[in-house]
Amino acid sequence: MSIKKITEINITGKKVLIRSDLNVPIENGIIQSDARILAALPTIELAVQKKAKVIVMSHLGRPKEGYYTKKYSLFPIFKYFQNKFKSTKIHFSNNFLDDVVIKPGEIAILENTRFNTGELNNSEILSKKYSNLCDVFVMDAFGSAHRMQSSTYGIGKFVKIACAGLLLTNEINALKKALKKPKRPMVAIVGGAKVSTKFNVLHKLSKLADTIIVGGGIANTFLAIDYQIGKSLHEPDFILEAKKLRDKYNIIVPIDSRVGKNFCKNEKSIIKSPDNIAEDEEIMDFGDQSIEKIVDILKKSQTIIWNGPVGVFEFPNFRKGTETIAKTIAHCDAFSIAGGGDTLSVIDMFNIKNNISYISTGGGAFLEFIEGKKLPAIEMLEEKFKK
């Protein structure tokens, strides 16, 4: 994989358009987690230090394309940048498709790319307008690298110079380290609600890892192979596929679970074995025996890939499995790489950010890279490098 990097280009005095991933949770104009912004800052800071004319663009949420929606405005992120770069002039532009006027060493934050008609279907007209804003395009949004859209992919066809930012470069290097020649034993934890969306990654990881630990609704689908699991979240249509995987690979499923009758924050948890779950109960976390077994596996591992919580960690009584596993990963000696939106929330909740070897900002991109798929944005950078 050969791509041009921002560190290999003279960007001083040039208009540099950085496609970041600033898709952070915002409620009532207040940023709830700045993890993705902090991950994007090194590239932006480098460009400012080099006295480039720095233009930053990103999407936020899923607004109706072509329409301004205050809820999805990047204005709160502009205010965040004003506070972060106190000695740097920061501009905010919501009408930028013709030009962005900016001086060297300044930053312009552009309004949500998804407000622009044609963004999602990779419009050539929009892609060309983006390219006309800059001398150099920097793709640094790993979390959007799997999307073939105007601001992540289409712009590459028209811009003269396209390169990878520091974040994208680090993401690629970290994932390669985990996937190509991992230190063993290698353990993969795959949680989340739907097994159907993660079968491809489970197949890939099953061939690569020594042990797969499944949690959440994914684990429930595996449990449903042999047990009646009440009203637990699972996917009946994928039980047969789950059985094929379980019979072929070393996949660890819970041997006991925390269950409740109501899906609510204050519901009390009861620990039960999978053969003893009533029709009106649902599995929402691992039980203590399962946690003990998994902790033992993790402590002996040398490489850990972690995607997704193993239970309803938002509810205090169903948090123990996710919390214990997260803290075990954080304090063991293995090279650990974690990715996915809910995983980032868990890392924030338990304040273990500094104890994970590498935290990926990608969700879908993280999974697709693991599956071995070519990410369109990276493919675009490779083609640009060849030319």
Give yes or no: residues 98 and 146 share one domain.
yes
Q: Is residue 355 part of a domain?
A: no
Pick out the residues of the known binding site for (2R)-3-phosphoglycerate: 36, 114, 147
The verdict on residue 369 lying in a domain is no
The predicted structure's pLDDT at residue 1 = 61
Do 139 and 164 contact (CB within 8 A), yes or no? yes
Q: Quick one: 151 and 200 in the same domain?
A: no
Catalytic (active-site) positions: 36, 194, 341, 364
Q: Domain range holding 188? A: 184-333
Largest CA distance in the chain: 68
In this structure, is residue 173 part of a structural domain? no
**Are 80 and 157 part of one and the same domain?**
yes
What does the angle CA 294 – CA 332 – CA 38 come to, to the nearest 5 degrees? 110
Q: Report the candidate in 193, 202, 183 with the shortest Cα–Cα distance to residue 250.
A: 202
pTM (two decimals): 0.84
Q: How far apart are CA 380 and CA 146, in angstroms?
A: 11
Pair 197, 158 in one domain: no
Q: For residue 350, is it within any domain? A: no
- Specify if 212 maps to a domain: yes
pLDDT tens, position by position, for the chain (387 residues)? 689 999 999 999 999 999 999 999 999 999 988 889 999 999 999 999 999 999 999 999 999 999 999 999 999 999 999 999 999 999 999 999 999 999 999 999 999 999 999 999 999 999 999 999 999 999 999 999 999 999 999 999 999 999 999 999 999 998 888 888 899 999 999 998 777 778 888 888 998 999 999 999 999 999 999 999 999 999 999 999 999 999 999 999 999 999 999 999 999 999 999 999 999 999 999 999 999 999 999 999 999 999 999 999 999 999 999 999 999 999 999 999 998 768 988 998 999 999 999 998 888 888 888 888 889 999 999 999 887
What is the sign of the dihedral through the CA atoms of 36, 133, 365 and 335? negative
* Residue 361 domain-assigned (yes or no): no
Q: In whole angstroms, what is the distance from residue 110 CA to residue 250 CA?
A: 47
Residues 292 and 207 in one domain: yes
Which residues are annotated as part of the binding site? 21-23, 36, 59-62, 114, 147, 198, 314, 340-343
| Whether residues 162 and 13 fall in one domain | yes
12 and 161 inside one domain: yes
Q: How many domains does the chain have?
A: 2
